[in-house]
Every structure is written in structure tokens, then in C-alpha cells.
Structure 1
Amino acid sequence: MQQVCRIFWRDVIVLFEPSLQDADALFVVMAFFLSWIICWIPLAVISAIAMKWKPFQPLQPEQKLPLLIPLYLLAPLMLWGTSWLTKTSFSEYGFSGNLATFYSLALGLALGVLGIAVVFSCQIWLGWYAFQETNLKQVRPILLPVLLVALLVGGVEELIFRGFLLRELDLDSSVWIAAIAGSLIFALLHLVWEQQETIPQLPGLWLMGMVLVLARFTDGGSIGLAWGLHAGWVWAIACLDTAQLVNPTGCVSEWVTGKNKKPLAGVAGVVCLLLTGGVLLLMLRYF
């Protein structure tokens, strides 16, 4: 696989000689995402045929994972090719692979799960959610598989959006403009999968991107803490949804608890992000 990637990127570099090292950041970003999608399409077609999915039919939740996994597994290879062309190391994207990165990952994972636990516990106490104790037995078998998926999704998205994209946009603008623009791109790209359910989440997704940028700053430029937070949120929410551990009682508007049962589409999810951001600011100031 590595040899195939080398051949692919060697052919690409011939087209864009002498080098992409000094190329416009916007061009590099567009080239990366376009190449990523082009390389993923054949894999997506194979997965769709295997699932007997027909075009224009809505994707079921169980059909999304076979499409997403190849997309996310392909991303590090594409990013490796981009870093080779632009002569940029992965450490500049915030990933060093040292022990400190994985310590930050563990810390972020704990903070992410704790944040979700606090917010949902408060909503259960207020009577906005009902806890389904009988479904607890469904949690144990899914904990590890969902964690692995969450680590993959969180790791790839942080490497791309808070790593590669933030670094490239920062070359042509201030870091906060890069953060705002990168978080907007992060939010809008979620529209690819579910437009109707994603539109109410767009402000929350943008805020999530900004909080994760703050996590990278807090971690001294490493994406470890942001990766952990992202994975922790995905892990906790996915386990709650899959096991159906909590259900809204309907005593308050769904815009409070989250429209379509999506926390980021409600006040509660935004509060969780703001509280996390506050914790990160305290860490940035005192540690």
C-alpha cells in the first residue's frame, strides 16, 4: 500500500512541479480534499454495491459505517502524501506520536466523557430526560467497538481540521481567522451525510470546532487533547444513543435538549461546549 501511495503522489508531483512547498494555502487545501474524495469514490462504490444500496435512497445508520471507515482510513495516507509534497512534517500538524500526545489523548477522553455525563445527569435531574435503567445491559458489549470507532473518527478529524487545515489557513491569515474559517468548513462538511438533521447543528458544530482549536492551544500545539475530547464526545453520545439509555421526556422544547435528539442542536449541547471551553481556558492559564 505504501508503495502504491508513493507512485500516486510521485505522479501528482510531476503535474505540479517544481514543488508544492510554496504553493498557495487555499490551493493545497482544495487539492487535498479533492484528491481524498477521488480516491475514496471507488471504495464507496464497492461498499454501496456490497450493501445493495440504490442511489438517491436515504442511508440507514447501519449503512453509513461501511462508507465512513474507508474514508477515514484513507485520510492519513492522503495527508502523508500532502505532507511529502509540501515538505511539512506531521509535527507541524500537531501530531508527534510521543508519550505526551497519548497522555493528552487520555486526559481529553476523560474530560469529554465527563462533560457529557454532567450535562445529561443535570437534564435527568431536571426531568428533561428519562434514564432507561433496563437498557444498561446493552452498554457493555458496545463500549470497546464504539470506542475504537470514536478514536478513529476523532483522530482523523483532528489531524485534518485542527492539524492540516488550521496550519494551512494560518499561513495566509491570523490564527483566529484560520480557526474561525476552519471551524466553519468543519461544520459545513457535515452536511454531506444528513442535511436535514445537520442544519440545526451547524452553530453547535462550529462552536465545537472552536473549542477543539482552543484545546490544541492549551496542549501546546499538539492535537492530543483535542483528539481525546472529540473521541470522548463521540464515544459517550454514541453509547447513549445505541443503548437508548436516555430519552427526552418532552417537558421542555427540543431546542433545549437537542432537536432530533442531537445535543449540538440544542442549548444543553452548547452549554456543554462552553463549560469545556471554560475548563480549557483555566488549564491554559494555570498549567
Structure 2
Amino acid sequence: MQQVCRIFLRDVIPLFEPSANISLSSLQDAPALVVVMAFFLSWILGWVPLAAISAIAIKWKPFQPLQPEQKLPLLIPLYLLAPLILWGTSWLTKTSFSEYGFSGNISTFSSLALGLSLGVLGIAAIFSGQIWLGWCAFQETNLKQVRPILLPILLVALLVGGVEELIFRGFLLTELGKNSSIWTAAIASSLIFALLHLVWEQQETIPQLPGLWLMGMVLVLARFTDKGSIGLAWGLHAGWVWAIACLDTAQLVNPTDCVSEWVTGKNKKPLAGVAGVVCLLLTGGILWLRF
């Protein structure tokens, strides 16, 4: 992967700055756009052969819709590969992971635990409110399905949340912030974060795009609140994914259809409804007060 990154940077950098004298051993002054493009291109090129192997293993055929159980074998290699590609990028640009907000110390993991708790509590509060208002019904008989899925989904949520925060609120926000204001970088990185979700499901993702962008902005605020660390954002992200995935997998909460699905979430996706947006705004308000 480092070789791919080297070749790409060597060939593309002159197109952006023909007069720049930048060596591959020292790319601190490379344009942020080049660094970002090199990372994402290397990530995609590295993942494609792994995805092909996974697709064969799960017997998926091109242009056929992916079933929920088929997504995980394709996602896991993508997310496991990302830190390796980012390590190669950071080595070429001489940027440490601590500059991207990850230091691996006790403070990071204590913020992770705090964010995880806040994320789960936020989802619990929003769905409890909807149940109380009669917008959703709680399926008590499905509680027995929760215990066996708690740990596996938590591990997946921590992986997904950790990798996405390292990339979008860590690497991407930091790189874009080098050539623009931090709020411009926040808006742009959150927009990229939202749009990239279209890769998997277009019809279900389009209604979620405003919510996904707002989610990205709240997670940027979480990094500011945590003094540049991605620990709190990682915890929030993982907490939201964990709570929603558990509710969805066990089918613990179902809409009663007494209000529009745009209130509870179109296609049962909280970010595509008013309730999910309210959850994000409340979380953002708490972070802003702390900030």
C-alpha cells in the first residue's frame, strides 16, 4: 500500500504544483487535496481485491442488491485496511496519529467510555419519548434476542466508529483545515462523510443525507470539546451505532404509524426523521455547553 501511495503522490503532485520541489521522503508541504486524494485512492485500490474475494465467498453477483448479512464481509476488510493506509499516508507526510486526534492514552479511552454512554443514553431517551407519545411500540417479547447480540454488535460499532472518526474527524478534518478555516473544513469533511454513505444504499441513504451531515458536524464539535482528541467522537459514534443496531436487529421498537414516517424516521432510519435530528441537536447542545 505504501508503494501505491508513493507512485500516486509522485505522479499527481506535479499536476497541482508544477513548481514545487517536494520529495517523497518529506511531503509536509504537499497540498491537502493531494494528500486526501492519495489516501482515498490507495484505500479503494487496496480494498477492491479483498472485496472481490469476499464477494466470491458470499456468492454475491454484481448489480444485485446486497442483503444485510452480506454487507459485513465486505465492510470488515474495508475498515481493517483503513488504519494501514492511513499509517502509510502519515509516514509519507510525516504526520503522527496524535495530530489526527488519536494518541492511545488513558484520556482517549476515558473519553471513549463517556461518549459511548452519552450516545446510548441519547438513543434511549429519544425512543423512550416516542414510546411515551405513542409514536412507537415497544416489543417486550423480543427482549430475549438482545443478550446474544450485545457484544458482537458492540465490537463492530467500536470498529466502525473508531475507523470513521480517525478518517473523517481525524485525518480529513486535519488535512482540510491546513488550507482553510476550521469551520470550512468541518462543513466539507461532514459533507464528504455523508455522501460516501451513498456507496452502499442509495434509496435509503438519500433521505438521511441532512442527518448524516449534521451527525458529522456534531462529531466535529465533540473533537473540539475533547481538546482535539477523537475519543469522545469515537464513543458517541459507536454508541449510536450500537444502540440503533441492537434495536433494529432485535426489532425492539416499531413505529405505530400514528405520525408521519418523516417524524420517526423514513424506512425506520432515525437520521431520516425529526426524532433523529432532535437527538443530534440535543447532543450538540450538551457538547456546546461543555465546550
- TM-score, shorter chain, exceeding 0.5: yes
The count of aligned residue pairs is 280
The aligned residue for residue 283 of structure 2 is: 276
**Distance apart, 1:7 and its partner CA:** 5.8
1:257 aligns with 2:264: yes
Q: Deviations over 1:6-26 (max 9, x none)?
A: 666566676666132211101
1:234 counterpart (235, 241, 245):
241
The aligned residue for residue 86 of structure 1 is: 93
The answer to whether the 8 Å contact 2:207/2:266 transfers is yes
1:52 aligns with 2:53: no
**AA paired with 2:199?**
V
2:172 counterpart (136, 147, 165):
165
Q: Deviations over 1:116-143 (max 9, x none)?
A: 0000000000000000000000000000
Question: Which consecutive segments of 4 or more residues in structure 1 shift more than 2 A?
Answer: 5-17
The aligned residue for residue 132 of structure 1 is: 139
Residues of 1 paired with 2:207 and 2:134: CA distance? 23
The aligned residue for residue 18 of structure 1 is: 23
1:111 aligns with 2:90: no
What SS does the aligned partner of 1:78 have? helix
Residues of 2 paired with 1:215 and 1:64: CA distance? 28
The aligned residue for residue 36 of structure 1 is: 43
| RMSD of aligned Cα (Å) | 1.3
1:182 aligns with 2:189: yes
The answer to whether the 8 Å contact 1:219/1:225 transfers is yes
1:152 aligns with 2:174: no
The answer to whether the 8 Å contact 1:32/1:79 transfers is yes
The answer to whether the 8 Å contact 1:109/1:231 transfers is yes
**Distance apart, 1:206 and its partner CA:** 0.2
**AA paired with 1:175?**
I
**Distance apart, 1:283 and its partner CA:** 1.4
Residues of 2 paired with 1:124 and 1:12: CA distance? 53
Residues of 2 paired with 1:232 and 1:211: CA distance? 14
The aligned residue for residue 19 of structure 2 is: none
Residues of 2 paired with 1:81 and 1:13: CA distance? 12
**AA paired with 2:187?**
I
The aligned residue for residue 75 of structure 2 is: 68
Q: Deviations over 1:102-129 (max 9, x none)?
A: 0000000000000000000000000000
- 1:213-224 paired onto structure 2 within 5 Å: 213-224=220-231
Q: Deviations over 1:198-249 (max 9, x none)?
A: 0000000000000000000000000000000000000000000000000000
What SS does the aligned partner of 1:146 have? helix
- TM-score, normalisation: structure 1: 0.95
**Distance apart, 1:164 and its partner CA:** 0.2
Residues of 2 paired with 1:194 and 1:212: CA distance? 22
The aligned residue for residue 274 of structure 2 is: 267
1:191 aligns with 2:198: yes
**Distance apart, 1:80 and its partner CA:** 0.2
Residue ranges of structure 2 left out of the alignment (5+ in a row): 14-21
The answer to whether the 8 Å contact 2:161/2:235 transfers is yes
What SS does the aligned partner of 1:168 have? helix
**AA paired with 1:74?**
L
Residue ranges of structure 1 left out of the alignment (5+ in a row): none
The answer to whether the 8 Å contact 1:13/1:85 transfers is no
What SS does the aligned partner of 1:130 have? strand
1:96 aligns with 2:98: no
Q: Deviations over 1:158-185 (max 9, x none)?
A: 0000000000000110000000000000
Residues of 2 paired with 1:266 and 1:227: CA distance? 23
- TM-score, normalisation: structure 2: 0.94
Residues of 2 paired with 1:235 and 1:33: CA distance? 26
Residues of 1 paired with 2:159 and 2:279: CA distance? 22
**AA paired with 1:18?**
S
**AA paired with 1:87?**
K
